[in-house]
Structure 1
Amino acid sequence: MKLHALTAALLLCCPFAQAKKAPQAVTAVDPEVAIAGGRIPLLQGDISIDGKLDDAAWQGALVQEIAYEIQPGDNSPAPVKTTVRIGYTTDALYVAFHALDTDPSRIRAHLGDRDTAFNDDWVGVFLDTFNDHRRGYELIVNPLGVQADLIRDETNADNQEDPSWDGMWQSAGQRTADGYDVEIRIPFSTLRFPAGGSDQHWGISLFRNWPRDKRHQLASHKVPRDSKCFQCEWGQYEGMAGVHQGRNLEVVPTLTVGKTQTRDTAGARWDSGKTNIEPGLDVSWAPSPAMTLNATLNPDFSQVETDQLQLNFNDGFALFYQEKRPFFLEGADYFSSQFNVLYTRQIADPDFGLRLTGRSSSGAYGAIVARDATTLLLVPGVQGSAFEQLDQTASVVVGRYRHDFNKQLSVGVIGTFRRGDDYANNVAGVDARWQQGPHTASAQFLHSQSEYPASIVDGYKDELGNDATPSGNAWRAQYAFSNRNWNLTAWHMAISPGFRADLGFMGQVGYEKSLLGGGHNWYRDDKAFNRINVYADFDITHRFDGQLLERELEGKVNVQGPMQSGLTLHALTRSRFWKGRLFDEHYADFSGSFRPLGNVQVGMNLQVGTLLDLTAEKTGRRSMLEVFGNAELGRGVALNWDVVLQRMRRDGGIAFTAKVLNAGGSWQLDPHQRLRLTLQGSQIQRDQALYVDTVNQRARDWAAQVVYSYKLNPHTALYAGAAYGAFMDDDHHELFGNTRSVFLKMSYGWQP
């Protein structure tokens, strides 16, 4: 039932009219507020960030409305009303959301850790502070005030939204009889923007997530479906002349205490273990609004969040794990390029580090200098890769600069340099990106020169060919077309055998590859299944000497439907070269997920087909089933699970079975305290009778970790935890605990 216009106006104005300081009555929302953009005014008076929109200062704010549904609707009128107020003081930007709901009982809001509220109802403000359509901030708050913040990189198609950034800002929210309210205060010291005392010109998007049967995404501005740049569509705002960042200095001392014990056999005594006490210091300083300098001494890079357990027993390439260490996460997008030439987990144990990042009116720049106590290498090959470690220190220098000629064309340079006693690896290159309407073209060229000690050359003769000083090139060129309904991509890349990017993650060299693919979208806004996508591509890969490595054809159909469901049917057929022979592989897989309840998500992946058993050099019938999901129980309890089962049948038997479990749960006791439990396990069984070479017939591992955390903000926190692990293999026929550890980590963010 639609509300009468006068009733709707009164509902919108109610929370603002109940001012503690007797503000003037707020008039009904004018249709002009649906036009995104305007001048952000200077607020008069104080505002308390408590989720109650009753401070008199809000009366002087710019009023806006989140008026459009951009997904799944096509810029249709928003199904729920959201009024937003924006203003500033000399040291902070203020934003208030008054979110009405046609059925407030269906609002989803859970108490959780930072960056965990994406499946809830939430509102957010997205800021393009340089108004260059390339890098932006996304600050999100759910109805209980839980924060999430991300860096948006429009130039990075593979990772446009990165939640690893944790800014210092304040928020509060509360549910009301007709929806919920949220207040946000963003200190200017948290943001980077053009220096100078004149007016700022920012792109801003005001956003609301309204998850019901479908995930409705609402914005303050229209977004054409043929747009290739979401950030380009944001409203244009001006004002905020004379704002300042204050001293913008933060000092964060840290202290980590830990003890680990191990044993080799069941029943043996645990080793005495050494108690490690590691003090550290991080300093962050912004000498100007557009520049940040970070320094760290004896940095604490211990992880309070375990890596997702992975298995690569039937894959010759090393596994990739996401970076989780705060020093390297902040500003990571400044160093991204088309090739992954900087994988900061390769800087494994630095004694100190310096990082400089900044923006100008014509581009962005970044630099890292570090001294690493060890040297970790990813030794690449044509059909496999592996990690190696040199017992020597290394000096590390990384530099990146991008120049924007205009809003369509950017050209950048990047270099990574690492040197040890008898080791060196230097990489330098240039890249470019151009975008105009539905067309995007990009390219990158890199050159490397390396020097390796005898231990690496002797161990990897196939990869290095007895060459202790390999050198080589890598290049890639891509064109993509995308409009409302059609998309096309074509690219070619070539990496010579001698190319090495030891500070990156490039595990395959000595090949060239081409791909041509395209797809079509159908939008059915008023139907149960509202979007259908069909995609297919063909790619071919050759070794540097012309040998065919892979010829592959694949296609998929994806549909989005009720209960926030997504269903995908995918099929692939290919010829694959391995150990001097070509093998035919083909499989089909089905994946899907949906929300039977608002607080429960379940999903599965099922794959069946003929695949290669690398160890046996034979193909077999491989089946894989993955079951995953998550659930929110009450306000603060969350569960998650991911179980993967694999089986290979060939030659009349079962060659191998593999099982992997990643599961856990957390209890958010209050906005600051959290208790988290993580369980991980794997089991592999092989039939020796189906292998010529000796294989490990049975392996089993499991581990558990429990962590208590108390966080006042991202930089002031306490963590206390314990972990226990057990394993078995052919030499240990019973499962037994072989590692156990405890740790305590404290940090304090001090701002003078």
Structure 2
Amino acid sequence: MTFRLLGLGLLALALPAWAHNPTALRLAPDAATPQIDGRLDDDAWQRAPVYERFVQFLPADKQPARWRTTVQVLVTGDALVFGIRAWDPEPGRIRAPLARRDQVKADQDFVSVFIDPVGHRRSAQYVRVSAAGALEDGQFSAEDDAEDTAPDFDVEAAAARLPDGYSVELRWPLAALRFPHADGLPWRMLVVRNIPREDRTLDVSAPAMTKDALSFIAELQPLDGLGDLVEQVRERSFIALRPELTLRSTNDRDEAGQVRRTRKASLGAEFKWRPRADWVIDATLNPDFSQVELDEPQLAGNTRFALSVPEKRPFFLESADVVGPTQADESGENRSLAAFYTRAITDPDWGLRATWRGASAEATALHLRDAGGGTVLRAGAFATRTGLQPRDSEASFARGRLQLGGVGLAGLVSARDFGHGLATHVVGSDGVLRAGDSDQFRGHLLLSSTTLGLDEDGQVRRVSRERGHRAWLGWRHRDADWVANVNVEEISPRFANDNGFVSQSGIRRASAFGYLRLGPRELAGVDLHDSEFQLKLQETRTVADPLLGVAAGQVVDRLLQPGFWMAAARNTGIWGHLGLDSHRAKSGGRLHDTRTLLLGFESNPGELLSFLMAEVEWGRRLDVDADRVGLGLQAQLEAKLRTPLAGGWWLEFEQRLGLGTVDAPDGRRAFTDRSAQSLVVLHLSPRDSLRVIHQQTHFTRRADASVALADEDSRQRQLAVMFQHRVGLSRIVSLGLNRASERPGLARSRELFAKLTLGY
């Protein structure tokens, strides 16, 4: 079948000013689909209308763009094709390293395309293409004003370097877009260009965009002229099948020194069917995630509560925006994980998921069988208890959302059945109210019921049915002068969700985080692009919990943190705050005053050292296990280096370090907590890479008879080596080695694997 090129030109950028431009919606003549090679030399591009009305968003919004950028859009029978031309008076300074997928960041020259085919500007799919042709994609949520890079779309892109800049071609299949079957609003989109120099510049295609808006996608532009094509595509069915074959050899040694060797070949598959525009059916059978990157190590030796980690597995990423936003708000809190946390699913045997999107409503539901082996969380006001999850459980989750103008209402149900009478159920509702352009209110109420409990040794046991609730209400305000986030919540002592993430319960909390926008200014001879005075307030108190012996009204934490943030050249940010805080380590214990100073810094220094971040908090910190305060620090460092090699190869190196310490009353070190991750990627081509990750955590504590603490020395190490040949999402060949060890004990594991994934 030959698709006719409809070539609607820049119908994606139908700005009001175009009403005076007779070429704005001119149809391009019929032509063949352009070859996606990054060069805009096909006949179709010669006849397509050109849009170039870009303005600055950073460092100052609504300013004329410094350098010319043009956009053209073609529409074929099955895809949108974007041609973007970026002129540069100093092309030798274009930063275009080869990079992993989803690692196209502010230190690189790139262009981005945001598309909202629902038209409500609540969320948008986006694809970012660097000047080297590297890809980053994901979902942007207006409610959180944040992007989630976890979702991947089956797009095709290429870039070409030119004597006066670079050009990009991006083919976005209509099958990868999610939109209603009927009564939808006009599609909307936005094109962005990033220019990293001494002063980072971000140019956008929407002249009305402002940093005062509640979200970055508040001014997405209408897409005109797609009517006939959308009508055709609404009824069209798309099917994708990705079988995968994994060969694996493992060698495990337990703490007793017993060795177990296994060799296994497994066949799995992922299936995606879009019967029409508003429905997507996903299925997975025996998925293997051996090629997924290791989770970053975290300092956990002085932490009372469980720590969450991001999702990276493909099956769980479809329609993540319908499940609920997954990004933390500006105060650093992440409440959406309480409803559904996909990392609670450890090793699925199979899964089935359906998602529907209408013009003013949407819903998703999934059911799967988990081979288990993960962690059960049972939270309290002062700590999270953990236990080993029973194997072979079944998990179900469903959420539906209705949009009525500026009001959004949603309901959800969640169930986890472990068999033998062990089950957890959650029902709830959440909502959002957009009160004008500056204010947004959000909240949820979740009710739980469970028969799964933990004994004092962390063993799972059946208990009489326990019920709990979690209620939260939040307000977010943003205007030209100030920004505020205010939250109040209550989590009852027995609230539990084995499909979610609950690290603390039995509390009432009120928190507020805001900043006064001081704008550009000069400080000590340095030009600041932006500056803010910040203030964070929080108080957490206990709710009575007879089961754990916790009395009501105890202060768990009380935070008072005045601070600042400044932005300068080279995408540099400097921040800090005074911590005039108080913390209680255990029920009935003393409320300790902690006094700390935090300073942080991040920058994109240059093409070689592309990113540098350091943050240090120093002062009187809480030693949780000893229930006392001592002089100490918590620090983290992150550095990224990229350098070209002979033959067009690129070397990418990332180093992350973490350190936490607290001194005992005698001035000697009470404990030291360390974490480190080294990542090296050798890019042989845009499709071929060799990745090595080595990481470790190491916690040591000195014995102290006065607080009944013994010597402790625990260490975990992990090594992952993988070669990967990747063509989009359709063809992936992976060869790898994973090794892990932990101390105390002799536990060791080694795994060799080969994986082939093909897409049809």
| Alignment TM-score > 0.5, same fold | yes
Alignment partner of 2:660 out of 646, 659, 664 = 646
**Structure 1: how far apart are the matches of 2:731 and 2:594?**
52
Q: What corresponds to 2:346 in structure 1?
A: 348
* Cα deviation, residue 236, structure 1: 1.4
CA distance in 2, matches of 1:393, 1:277: 21
Deviations 1:340-370 (A, max 9, x none): 2101111222221111112101122111111
- Conserved? CA contact 2:291–2:734, under 8 Å: no
Amino acid at match of 1:214: D
- Partners of 2:541 and 2:59 in 1: CA distance: 42
User: In the comparison of the two structures, how many residue pairs are matched?
Assistant: 706
User: Which residue is equivalent to 2:448?
Assistant: 448
Q: CA deviation at 1:32?
A: 5.9
What amino acid is the match of 1:489?
Answer: N
- The SS at the match of 2:686 is coil
| Equivalent in 694, 698, 704 of residue 713 of structure 2 | 698
Match of 2:601 in 1: 592
2:8 corresponds in structure 1 to none
Please, which runs of 5 or more residues in structure 2 have no aligned partner?
1-14, 326-334, 544-551
Residues 137-182 of structure 1, C-alpha deviations (whole Å, 9 max, x = no match) = 111211222222111111234xx21111111122111111110111
Q: CA deviation at 1:34?
A: 11
C-alpha deviation, 1:225, in angstroms: 2.6
Where do 5+ consecutive residues of structure 1 fail to align?
Answer: 1-29
Q: In the alignment, does 2:121 pair up with 1:133?
A: yes
Q: Answer whether contact 1:40 1:238 (CA < 8 A) is retained.
A: no
Q: 1:613 is matched with which residue: 602, 607, 623?
A: 623
Q: How does 1:564-579 map to 2 (within 5 A)?
A: 564-579=571-586
User: Of the candidates 413, 416, 438, which is equivalent to residue 415 of structure 1?
Assistant: 413
Matched, 1:261 2:278: no
The equivalent residue for 2:171 is 185
Q: Is the counterpart of residue 203 in structure 1 residue 199 in structure 2?
A: no
Change (3 A) 1:255 1:489: same
SS in 2 for 1:62: coil
Equivalence map 1:325-474=2 (5 Å) = 325-336=313-324, 338-340=335-337, 341-374=339-372, 376=374, 377-406=376-405, 408-421=406-419, 422-435=421-434, 436-452=436-452, 456-457=454-455, 459=457, 468-474=464-470
Question: Could you tell me whether the CA contact under 8 Å between 1:394 and 1:419 is conserved in 2?
Answer: yes
Distance 1:703 1:392, change over 3 A: closer
Q: 2:177 matched to 1:162? A: no
The letter for the 2-side match of 1:504 is G
Aligned equivalents of 1:623, 1:459: Cα separation in 2: 32
Is the Cα–Cα contact under 8 Å of residues 637 and 657 in structure 2 kept in the other structure?
Answer: yes
Q: Compute the displacement of 1:394 (Å).
A: 2.2
The AA in structure 2 aligned to 1:438 is S
RMSD value over aligned CA atoms? 2.6
User: How many percent identity over aligned positions?
Assistant: 26
Q: Is the 8 A contact 1:43 1:88 kept in 2?
A: no
Task: Call closer, same or farther: CA 1:108–1:392 in 2, change over 3 Å.
Answer: closer
**d(CA) in 2 for partners of 1:717, 1:80:** 38
How far apart are 1:471 and its partner, in Å? Answer: 0.2
1:66–1:218 contact (8 Å) kept in structure 2: no
Question: What secondary structure, in the 3-state scheme, does the structure 1 residue paired with 2:187 have?
Answer: strand
Structure-2 separation of matches of 1:594 and 1:315 = 29
The question of whether the paired residues in 2 share the 8 Å contact of 1:604 and 1:628 is answered with yes
Change (3 A) 1:34 1:719: farther
Q: CA deviation at 1:63?
A: 1.8
Q: Which deviates further from its counterpart, 385-394 or 172-181? A: 385-394
After superposition, the Cα gap between the structure-2 partners of 1:700 and 1:33, relative to the gap in structure 1 and judged at 3 Å, is same
Q: Return the alpha-carbon distance in structure 1 between the equivalents of residues 299 and 364 of structure 2.
A: 35
Query: Hey, what's the Cα distance between the residues in 1 that align with 2:494 and 2:185?
Result: 49
CA drift of 1:662 comes to: 0.8
1:274 aligns to what SS in structure 2?
Answer: strand
Q: What code does the residue aligned with 2:481 have?
A: N
Could you say if the C-alpha distance between residues 477 and 77 of structure 1 is closer, same or farther in structure 2, counting changes exceeding 3 Å? same
Given the alignment of the two structures, is residue 636 of structure 1 paired with residue 634 of structure 2, yes or no? no
Cα separation, partners in 2 of 1:709 and 1:392, compared to 1, 3 Å: closer
CA distance in 2, matches of 1:726, 1:547: 40
For 1:672 and 1:43, how far apart are their aligned partners in 2?
34
Equivalent residue letter for 1:688:
A
Aligned equivalents of 1:490, 1:128: Cα separation in 2: 29
Give the TM-score taking structure 1 as reference length.
0.89
Q: 1:477–1:231: structure 2 CA closer, same or farther, 3 Å change rule?
A: same
Q: 1:225 and 2:215 equivalent?
A: no
Partner of residue 112 from structure 1, selected from 88, 99, 104: 99
Measure how far apart 1:212 and its partner are. Answer: 0.8
Match of 2:735 in 1: 720
Amino acid at match of 2:103: T
Residues 45, 383 of structure 1: CA spacing in aligned structure 2 closer, same or farther, 3 A cutoff?
Answer: same
Q: CA deviation at 1:86?
A: 1.3
Deviation (angstroms), 1:457: 4.7
- 1:395, CA displacement in angstroms? 2.3
Higher mean displacement: 596-605 or 103-112: 596-605
Moved more, 284-293 or 370-379: 370-379
1:739 aligns to 2:753 (yes or no): no
SS of corresponding position for 2:217: helix
Q: CA deviation at 1:683?
A: 2.6
**Closer, same or farther: CA 217–66 of 1 in aligned 2, 3 Å:** farther
Q: Does the C-alpha gap of structure 1 residues 142 and 554 become closer, same or farther in structure 2, counting only changes over 3 Å? A: same
